[in-house]
Structure 1
């Protein structure tokens, strides 16, 4: 077994205290020749930690297949000093693999006392907001613009390790150690993505909201709960809105959020829920209550249905995101139209708490699994 330790200065892009005291955190990653211990082997465990104010990186490397058990025991002994394991998708692969190794060697599970913090799971809820097709490590690194010296992926390194076992070529050993080293060091800048997760947990705070009736746009400025490392731009569409109605645009940069929400000028319908109490007047294209309809000739009226129980209103309207409208009364293009509208008149001067709720609904919609495209 080879043990390799170096000092390094990590790129601290996130407040580690949110995960725990730095001295109690152990960042780790493993390298294997396959997915299950029964048909592959564990050949490298690496970890980063703080010791007396200095960050260090230690790796245990199996010089032969027989070293697998030895590097496991060395890592377990070392990990017992810490309280929290930090990793990227370790809950999905690294930890189950090590547990299976323990069963194979009839060894006690050496990490039971440690809390597991999986960065992958913390970032995964942000996938839609970030506009990523996946939260795989390479995708996250590309989003942040991170570059690696290591030219290999984990699968390619299997052949490199097998060749090393035959040749003992130091250059191959260095390539194997480098890949693991960069995986571990990369977790520190990768943690900057947790700022997006923090924004999802704490909604943006409304600063200003003003309507430009000339451009038919509501402009919103807000403060984010975190400073984002990479600006993002998202759109929110309004299904069931009049044809050609544009999307809302959300621009997030640093700790600021700017929204541009289109206003609709035209005619929409106000639907009444208790349609059985109404009559529809085809000539007027409107519904009236039965107490009024009794004075209308029977030939000019008919029982209203859910889709005909409405009155029409012209004006300037604000679209409302999500399923639960913030403002009332609610207008729609048709009865089953998904997007609700409210009259813009008066909204600008409404209670700021309602405008805050509207902002939160818009932000939630931008981060939801719906198809909201990046621009």
Structure 2
């Protein structure tokens, strides 16, 4: 087994990791096939952050003979002992199962610490970068989500020109030329090392794409209270205006997220079944640097808040109003009917903005300060009334409507 050590280049794109960088280990493996029972492991690369020199460092364990598998795995496990989080690209599907299979073959028992990480199925200690990028693949208009395609999307140009599959015959040739043509074998070795090196080093750049997923981790309001997670504490509304097209513009700044590329997307709101007003303009989002701009259409008109427990209400057709039975008992009975789901509502005239958040039945409609309005009973699209454009201090109150509204849109991308 050969060991190679490097100091990595500063990543082109910054990413705020969810975990302390000094507790993170990146890794990637190279093999002669997909099946661990019918192929060999010929390289393990790891990358870690050194606080002493503030740089990422990379180590490669390379099999220069066919007896190095166990040595490489043990070396990898020794390093893993010092880290709490293992980052990888599609490692949950391939790299980790492959390593565990080889551990069984060689009678290697990972420590309790390493086993907890390698057998983590919930993404707590074992972080698959691909799993965080896949949910935003469509939003970012990515045709593929393999690492090479993501690097191209970021504008990264590799020195390595091979994919993993094409390196298998190169490794075979390397093993043949080690004795017959040492200088040629050295050139082949450089090709093999370069591919693994760039795979791992570029994970730092590819990880930045997770920022588009991280923004969707903001917690919306629940039925009973406002709930925020770690990300929502790091964003604030920096501007609210109405543009010349009559769209409400909400500019949000997220201090601990940086988007690697400016991305503009349009998300259609669900259509309404109302004959008066069937569809609205799209929600327009722009991700740029550490900001998200939401452009939201404004609707003017009369909307309805449908009351869940309609059996406790009467509907008065002459006034187009639903009243609770305790109040309706004192009203003229000539226009009184038992309310139905479609006639049990309160009306509100004014200005409204639509929401992507799915309609949920509140436990108490009247107690919910974020009342949802609809154009028609069966609509999936809901609206919220806006009376004034708030000042920024009001908008940034964690318990205010505005921060919650932003969260609700970004959690449904």
TM-score w.r.t. the length of structure 2 is 0.72
Q: Residue 198 of structure 2 aligns with which residue? A: 182
Partner residue in 1 for 2:38: 39
1:127–1:135 contact (8 Å) kept in structure 2: no
- 1:182-202 deviations in Å (ceiling 9; x for gaps): 112112223333544554351
Equivalent in 334, 342, 345 of residue 296 of structure 1 = 334
SS in 1 for 2:171: helix
2:315 — aligned with what? Answer: 279
Tell me the equivalent position of 1:238: 269
**Distance between the aligned counterparts of 1:103 and 1:33, measured in 2?**
18
> Which runs of 5 or more residues in structure 1 are unaligned?
none
- C-alpha distance in 1, partners of 2:75/2:370? 64
SS in 1 for 2:290: strand
1:340 aligned residue: 382
Answer with 78-87 or 166-175: which moved more. 78-87
Report 1:48-127 matches (<5 A).
48-49=47-48, 53=53, 56-77=57-78, 85-109=86-110, 112-113=113-114, 116-120=125-129, 123-124=132-133, 127=136
8 A contact 2:355–2:408 mirrored in 1: no
Structure 1 residue aligned with 2:157, among 122, 128, 147?
147
User: Which stretch of structure 1 is more off in the superposition, 156-165 or 348-357?
Assistant: 348-357
Query: 1:159, 1:364 → 2: CA distance?
Result: 51
Residue 221 of structure 1 pairs with residue 251 of structure 2: yes
* SS in structure 1 at match of 2:258: strand
Scaled by the length of structure 1, what TM-score is found?
0.78
Q: Aligned equivalents of 2:370 and 2:111: distance in 1?
A: 58
Tell me, yes or no, if the aligned pair for 1:321 and 1:361 is still in contact at 8 Å. no
In 2, Cα distance between the equivalents of 1:339 and 1:56? 50
| Aligned-pair CA distance for 1:178 | 1.4
Report the CA distance shift for 1:354/1:156 in structure 2 as closer, same or farther (over 3 A).
same
The answer on whether the counterparts of 1:10 and 1:188 sit within 8 Å (CA) in structure 2 is no
CA 45–275 in structure 1, closer or farther in 2 if over 3 Å, else same: closer
Match of 1:164 in 2: 174
Count of aligned positions: 362
> In 2, are the aligned partners of 1:270 and 1:331 still within 8 Å (CA)?
yes
User: Per the alignment, in what secondary structure is the counterpart of residue 90 of structure 2?
Assistant: coil
CA RMSD of aligned residues (A): 3.8
d(CA) in 2 for partners of 1:330, 1:364: 13
2 CA distance for matches of 1:152 and 1:111?
37
* Cα distance change of structure 1 residues 356 and 104 upon mapping to structure 2, 3 Å threshold: same
Aligned to 1:9: 9
The more displaced of 92-101 and 271-280 is 271-280
Matches within 5 A, 1:195-274: 195-196=211-212, 199=215, 200=217, 201-203=230-232, 204-211=235-242, 215-225=245-255, 226-241=257-272, 242-274=277-309
Query: 2: distance between equivalents of 1:55 and 1:120?
Result: 18
| Aligned-partner Cα distance in 1 for 2:260–2:383 | 35
> What does the per-residue CA deviation read over 1:276-317, in whole Å, with 9 as the maximum and x for residues that have no partner?
432363xx69345454774536xxx75442123346655432
Distance across 1 between alignment mates of 2:339 and 2:236 = 44
- Distance in 2, matches of 1:333 and 1:179, equals 57
Compare 104-113 and 142-151 and name the one that shifted more: 104-113
CA distance in 1, matches of 2:93, 2:16: 23
- 1:137 lines up with 2:147 in the alignment: yes
